[in-house]
């Protein structure tokens, strides 16, 4: 557990996944890699991939999209019909009497106003407990409305790259950590929640519930930047919400686990992944153990589970995985 937490926090900060030398790998893991040498030709691998991809269903993606749309629709429904089921917006809300407050938003407010509001404290405790159980960055892919818009924009970006009309540009992953500190300092010094003013998560959430505003121009500009310049730039390199929940997620019992023996190392999972560094362990020779949990910087979107032709990636719940 300690090793998992250290590796997770290291990746959240922006470091590359730790690599073990061959001497540090277990004999069992080395034997698995050795058996695979020449065992599956490129042609056989392509045939196996095509056969699987011709029949598989985006099970987890559909579940995730439905959940995300329903959660955000509940906000709209509650506001329009005043049924007081889910009041507020994603930054701060109340569900049948229980206060919810986004952890990063609450931190910004506390830093800006220099005091702690009781309802805010109750709300963060509720949210912390919820995402501690479900997995830190589950919020990003299962609830955040901007994530869904960015995911659709990503399809267009990848199509343009495939047609060689544009090139994808990347930034250093530690940029997100630096910006996390900058946003916190800006809130503390200015007394204003600067990040909340530009956060597409909050802007889109409020637009869904209360109607569109001028702030959506900023969201549109972000999406255009991601389509034509940098794939999923906001989520990968800017948004501090991901860092906050990834830190919480280090203790979550819900994880995606990897089995090195079943893996064909064809790399389809990494091509789909929003945070592909967490799946570096699927590269031949990169796993630390035969069975290894993907770190908490993972959004638990499930796309890698959907696309894996050999079932080497799966969800698990610590303590219950032996019974499922």
The answer on 271 and 123 residing in a single domain is no
Domain that holds residue 283: 17-56+253-317
pLDDT given at position 257: 95
Q: Are residues 212 and 240 in the same domain?
A: yes
Co-location of 219 and 81 in the same domain:
yes
> 204 and 84: one domain?
yes
Residue 286 included in any domain? yes
Q: How many CA atoms lie within 13 A of 12 on its CB side?
A: 26
Q: What is the pLDDT of residue 40?
A: 67
194 assigned to some structural domain: yes
User: What number of residues does the chain have?
Assistant: 324
pLDDT at 83: 80
Q: How far apart are CA 234 and CA 145, in angstroms?
A: 13
Q: Is residue 183 situated within a structural domain?
A: yes
Q: By percentage, how much of the chain surpasses pLDDT 90?
A: 60
> Within this chain, do residues 40 and 83 fall inside the same structural domain, yes or no?
no
pLDDT of residue 318: 86
Instruction: Tell me the CB-side half-sphere exposure of residue 186, using CA atoms within 13 A.
Output: 13
pLDDT of residue 81: 85
CB of 205 closer than 8 Å to CB of 89: yes
Q: How many structural domains does the chain have?
A: 2
Final residue in a domain of this structure, among 230, 247, 264: 247
- Whether residue 106 is found in the same domain as residue 132: yes
- In the prediction, which pLDDT does 53 show? 63
Question: Under DSSP, is residue 184 helix (H, G, I), strand (E, B) or coil?
Answer: helix
Quick one: tokens of 284? 């031949």
User: What pLDDT is attached to residue 231?
Assistant: 96
Whether 116 and 240 map to the same domain: the answer is yes
- Final residue before a domain boundary, out of 247, 277, 306: 247
**What pLDDT shows up at residue 185?**
95
Which of 285, 264, 281, 276 lies closest to 303 in space, CA to CA?
Answer: 276
Structure tokens at 80: 């329009």
pLDDT at 310: 86
| pLDDT for the residue numbered 198 | 94
User: Are 111 and 184 in contact, with CB atoms under 8 Å apart?
Assistant: yes
Ranges in the chain, pLDDT < 70: 38-42, 44, 48-56, 136, 321-324
Q: Are residues 154 and 80 in the same domain?
A: yes
The residue written with tokens 């277990």 in the block is: 26
Is 126 in the same domain as 221? yes
What phi-psi label fits residue 17: left (phi over 0), alpha (psi between -120 and 50 degrees) or beta?
beta
195 and 121 in a common domain: yes
Task: Determine which helix (DSSP H) or strand (DSSP E) holds 219, and give its type and residue range.
Answer: helix 216-228
Gap between the Cα atoms of 287 and 275, Å rounded: 17
């Amino acid at each position: 557990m300690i090793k998992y937490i250290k590796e997770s926090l290291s990746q959240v900060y922006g470091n590359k996944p730790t690599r073990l030398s061959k001497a540090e790998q277990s004999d069992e893991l080395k034997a698995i890699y050795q058996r695979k040498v020449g065992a599956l030709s490129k042609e056989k691998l392509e045939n196996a991939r095509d056969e699987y991809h011709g029949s598989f269903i985006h099970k987890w993606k559909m579940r995730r999209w439905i959940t995300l749309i329903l959660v955000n629709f509940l906000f709209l429904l509650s506001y329009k019909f005043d049924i007081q089921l889910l009041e507020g917006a994603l930054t701060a809300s109340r569900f049948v009497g229980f206060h919810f407050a986004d952890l990063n938003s609450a931190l910004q407010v506390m830093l800006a106003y220099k005091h702690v509001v009781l309802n805010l404290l109750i709300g963060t405790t509720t949210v912390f407990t919820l995402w501690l159980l479900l997995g830190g960055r589950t919020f990003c892919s299962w609830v955040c409305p901007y994530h869904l818009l960015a995911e659709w924009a990503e399809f267009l970006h990848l199509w343009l790259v495939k047609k060689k009309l544009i090139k994808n540009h990347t930034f250093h992953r530690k940029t997100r950590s630096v910006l996390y500190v900058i946003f916190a300092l800006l809130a503390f010094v200015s007394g204003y929640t600067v990040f909340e003013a530009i956060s597409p998560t909050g802007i889109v959430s409020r637009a869904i519930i209360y109607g569109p505003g001028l702030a959506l121009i900023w969201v549109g500009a972000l999406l255009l930047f991601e389509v034509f310049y940098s794939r999923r730039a906001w989520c990968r390199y800017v948004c501090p919400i991901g860092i906050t929940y990834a830190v919480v997620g280090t203790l979550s019992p819900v994880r995606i686990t990897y089995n090195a023996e079943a893996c064909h190392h064809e790399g389809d999972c990494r091509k789909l992944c929003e945070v592909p560094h967490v799946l570096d362990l699927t590269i031949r020779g990169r796993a630390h153990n035969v069975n290894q949990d993907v770190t908490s910087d993972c959004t638990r979107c499930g796309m890698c589970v959907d696309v894996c032709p050999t079932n080497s990636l799966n969800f698990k719940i610590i303590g219950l995985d032996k019974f499922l």
